[in-house]
Amino acid sequence: MSLALAGASKSLIGGVSSSAKHITSGNKGKILEVFKNDDTKKVINYCANGFSSLVSLITFLNGNFDIANSIQEKLESISEKLSKAAFSVAHVIGAIDLWQKKNFLPFLGYAIASPIALLSTGYNMWVAVGFAEGLINFAVITDQREIVDDNGEPILDKNKNPQVINGDFKSRGWWSSITTTLSESKKMLIELYKKPSRIKKMTHSLFASNLFMLIAPVFGILNLKKLEAVIRNCSTVAIESSMLFHKNITNEQSLETHQRQGSKSSEGINLRSPIAQSGLLWICAAASDLLKRFDYFSEKIKNLTHLSMLFDRVASTRFTQGILNIKE
């Protein structure tokens, strides 16, 4: 938890200062321009998710340790409302950012996530937004997907490093983001079929796991709610386990930088990455949500919904930061 929130204060102070300057600088002081500014997005992201996380933590602790029983019901209501509000704020930030980057599928995911969350109950919100989150994950998949030849082998640059698609399509356009995502998805399916060992690659394991996230709502439509929840949570654990290996490889890196970030020489977990940090926290969120659906655990541990909300909001703080870091 402390790892996920490390540096938040520094970001807030710097962000507030930068945003204030931005507001007072002539035409750039327009509201729309302010919200396009990365520093503004960071400030709102940390404030909204941070406050919601704190209330969810208090709600969980109060419910389990009987600190103040008389206010527990009110705390639960406040925690749920704040979690929905923070969720919506984070996803509006993501939608604005992906709109600027013209990456269609993740933008669509961010755009539909907020209405779905607001229309859901606190208990079911985590599962309800699964499809939207699956679309959002394509931002990371496209950003870290290596450019490959017809045999699925990486095409190297002048420094003998693999190059990546990159998730910022600002200069390539909306249509390119759609065709590239669909084309690379097809290629990864073929690559996995021809060589299953490629599942060890972060992008391939993330993509394969993400498919289950996308199909989980089908079982909800069939009124198989518990099965939908199990698939949503198990696929999340698989997805976020892949995210732990996120290295943020970018094009035109020096050989030293590329190797230090792990594309060639290191395949280990990289908790310096905000995306990886969010992965660890979302695994905890998924575990909490899955446990609450079984009476044995929900009777022993109260307010697991709010524990899941806590992990979800802190994870979202770091994941949103990771999305903002995606640049051409």
User: What is the per-residue pLDDT for 32?
Assistant: 65
Helices (H), strands (E): how many in the chain? 16, 0
Q: Is the Cβ–Cβ distance between 250 and 326 less than 8 Å?
A: no
Question: 178 in helix, strand or coil?
Answer: helix
Residue 154 three-state SS? strand
> Which segments of the chain have a pLDDT < 50?
2-6, 8-13, 16-17, 19-20, 22-25, 28, 254-266
Model pLDDT, residue 157 = 84
pTM, full prediction: 0.85
82 vs 42, 52, 304, CA distance in Å?
Answer: 18, 5, 16
Residue spans of the domains in the chain: they are 2-324
Record the tokens describing residue 233, joined without a space: 């949570």
- Per-residue pLDDT, 145: 94
CA–CA separation, 315 vs 87, rounded Å? 11
Which whole-number Å values give the CA distances from 240 to 43, 135, 245, 292, 317, in the listed order? 25, 14, 9, 20, 15
* pLDDT value of residue 258: 45
Relative orientation angle of helices 225-243 and 274-291, to the nearest 10 degrees: 160
Tokens 């009476």, located at residue: 295
pLDDT for 35 equals 64
pLDDT at 27: 53
